[in-house]
Every structure is written in C-alpha cells, then in structure tokens.
Chain A
Amino acid sequence: MAKVMVSLPDDLLAEVDAEAQRGGTTRSAVMRGFADAALRQRREGRAAAMRSLLSGASPHGGRAAELVKSTRPGP
C-alpha cells in the first residue's frame, strides 16, 4: 500500500480524527473508506444512468467501428 502526504484544512482534519475516534480506527482508514465510498458511489451513479439511457437503444445495423471510420472527414 502506498504512503502519501495529503494536505487538509484543520477543521476537516478534526472531523476525520473525530470519525476515527468514534469508529475506533485510524485516520488513514477513515480517509480510505471515504475515498472508496465516494468512488463507488460515482461508478454506481454512472452505471444506473447508463442502464436508463440504454433502455432506449434501437437497431442500426451494427459495424460501429467501421462506421466511425467511414464518417470521419476525408483528406
């Protein structure tokens, strides 16, 4: 696991430390948990939005990669 230096405002660090004390864990573990939860929430939000957008998908004949090339501007 990499060790990094992170700059935090004093009041935010105080909140992190209070959270660590409440949970009986370390400052590092709290920040890891927050980062993991935020990124997971972001991925889940994207996945849910994609499910909604893709529900309206309709057939277009396939060959996506070929069509990308054939519709690019010519020389």
Chain B
Amino acid sequence: MTTLLLDASVLLAAFDPEDNHHESARALLEDEEATLATLDLARYEVANVAVRAWRAPESVAPLLAAIERLAGDGGVLVSTGSLLTQAAELAERHTISVYDAAYAAAADAAGHCLVSCDERDLVSKNLATLPGEDS
C-alpha cells in the first residue's frame, strides 16, 4: 500500500467547507484504508493561513492536532539539508517555489505519492494528484 503525503493545501481544504476540494480532502483524512503522511513545513503553512488569511487563530490548534495524527500514522517528514537541495533542483526544473518543491522532493525520497490541491504548480506538472484522485 502506498503512503500518501499531503501538503498543507489538503489539510486546509479539509477544514474549510467552502473549498472546492473540501469533500475529497475530508474523505481522505477520514479514510481508514490509506496511510497518510506530511512534511514538517505543513505545520508552518497551515498556521500561517489560519492566522493571516482566515483571521481565525482558533483554527491553529485543530489544524496542528490533525498534523500530529499524521505523525502517528505515516509520519511527519523532516526538511533536511539534502531534501532541500533536492527541492531546489526540482524548483529550478519545474519553475516552482522551493516550498512546493519540498513536498514533491519529500514524497519522491520516501517513495510516497504527493496529494495537493495546487493544480497550477503541482498537479498540472504531474508532481502531485488531487485528493480523491490518489488511488
């Protein structure tokens, strides 16, 4: 069974009923058959969106709690120097940010499949699949 590595957008979409990918992202987090993981960067990104974009600091705790549940499932991968070196190469090759590339590099290094709601920079470049299209 392949482990799915979720980026911050999937976690945020699951917690926002108005997101286009809400239902599929939520179903993925609640899927008992899938093994789910993420990257440590997601902790900063979900908290940043909750505080700065949603203006909902009360959402930070449940979002971080969700990431801790992933830590106990497929794990929270660590952004090491070698991972970010690989991410920089991917970023250059695909003209994407090192942040986005870090998720792709982490998934690649661990043999996981990256799942993201980022259609423009990750899904369109075959670096990730949308939630619900991951199997």
Contacts and interface: CB of A to CB of B under 8 A. Distances in A.
Partners in one complex: yes
Interface of A: 39-40, 42-47, 49-51, 53-54, 56-65, 67-72
Contact of A43 (B15, B21, B32, B117): B32
Contact of A47 (B19, B30, B49, B117): B30
Given A45-B72, A46-B36, A54-B30, A72 B97 contact: yes
Interface in B6-29: 7-10, 12-22, 26, 29
A39 B62 CA distance: 24
B73 interface: yes
A64 B69 contact: no
- Could you tell me the dominant secondary structure of chain A's interface residues? helix
Contacts of B65: 49, 53
A53 B45 CA distance: 18
B34 interface: yes
A58 B30 CA distance: 17
Interface of B: 7-10, 12-22, 26, 29-36, 45, 48-49, 52-54, 56, 59, 62, 65-66, 69-70, 72-73, 97, 99, 116-120
Shortest 3 CB-CB contacts between residues of A and residues of B = A64-B12, A65-B118, A65-B9
A8 to B, nearest CB: 23
A60 B18 contact: yes
B16 A39 contact: no
Contacts of A65: 9, 13, 116-120
Given A58-B59, A64-B49, 15 more contacts: A42-B72, A43-B35, A47-B30, A54-B15, A54-B30, A57-B17, A58-B17, A62-B20, A63-B19, A64-B10, A68-B7, A68-B45, A69-B97, A71-B48, A72-B48
